[in-house]
Amino acid sequence: MKRIVIFASGNGSNAQRIIEYFRDRTDARVVQVLSNNKNAKVLERAKSLEVSAFSFNRMALYDTDDVLHLLEATRPDLIVLAGFLWLFPKKIISHFPDKIINIHPALLPEFGGKGMYGKYVHEAVSAFAKAQPEQTTYTGITIHKVTPEYDKGDILFQEKTVVTATDTPESIAAKVHQLEYDHFPAVIADYLASKS
């Protein structure tokens, strides 16, 4: 049984779907959820699905090895960033080579990088679409390996959706979330299978 650890900063709707997807499978399971925000809804979601969940602060992630030691004890086969908004530290990346993936709510390399997360991505996509009404604009999801730079690692999967003239940042977010729910768990399963 492969072991998945999820990092998330906020709501955790993707984390919930990933936990539920693997709950009834025999090949992998979400064993832990970690958040940089002690009030994040993702912690409640995980606990109510009987997955152990902890929060940590900046010092534990960047200045000490507390989070690294926790991960060493948990022995994940895959670390999944599902709405994790802090830069992932180099020392953890080098400890888990090819074992950390992230989902980004747009079609990288467009609309990525520092500060491009969550609603800021959808606002930028919406503004871009409105500025070029004669052109079809697409957005979507990108699942990629994590490197020490934001949104730069090898791309494993992308899926797109059209942005229409009447779309708002909120409606774009809803479309993108639906793509995430439809594809992210299966991409995780495929990636784990490809590594065994």
* Burial state string for 89-103 with b = 16 or more CB within 10 A and e = fewer than 16: beebbeebeebbbbb
The reply on whether position 153 binds ligand GAR by CB under 6 A is no
Decide: is 187 part of the binding site for ligand GAR (CB under 6 A).
Answer: no
**Of positions 104, 125, 129, 167, contacts ligand GAR by CB under 6 A:** 104
CB of 113 to ligand GAR, least distance (A): 9
Is 88 a binding residue for ligand GAR by CB under 6 A? The answer is no
Residue 11 makes contact with ligand GAR by CB under 6 A: yes
* Dihedral of the alpha carbons of 21, 27, 31, 34, in degrees to the nearest 10: -60
The verdict on 167 binding ligand GAR (CB under 6 A) reads no
Sign for the pseudo-dihedral over CA of 5, 94, 103, 11 = positive
Binding mask 106-135 for ligand GAR (x = CB under 6 A): -----------xx--x--------------
Tell me, yes or no, if 104 is annotated catalytic.
Answer: yes
Could you count the other beta carbons within 10 Å of the beta carbon of residue 7? 28
Distance CA 111, CA 132 (A): 16
Nearest in space to 37 (alpha carbons), one of 23, 52, 55, 58: 55
Per CB under 6 A, 103 contacts ligand GAR: yes
- Which one of residues 5, 6, 8, 30 is an interface residue with ligand GAR (CB under 6 A)? 8
> How far is the C-alpha of 27 from the C-alpha of 18, rounded, in Å?
13
Q: Applying CB under 6 A, which residues contact ligand GAR?
A: 8, 10-15, 82-83, 103-105, 117-118, 121, 176-177, 180
Q: Which residues are catalytic?
A: 104
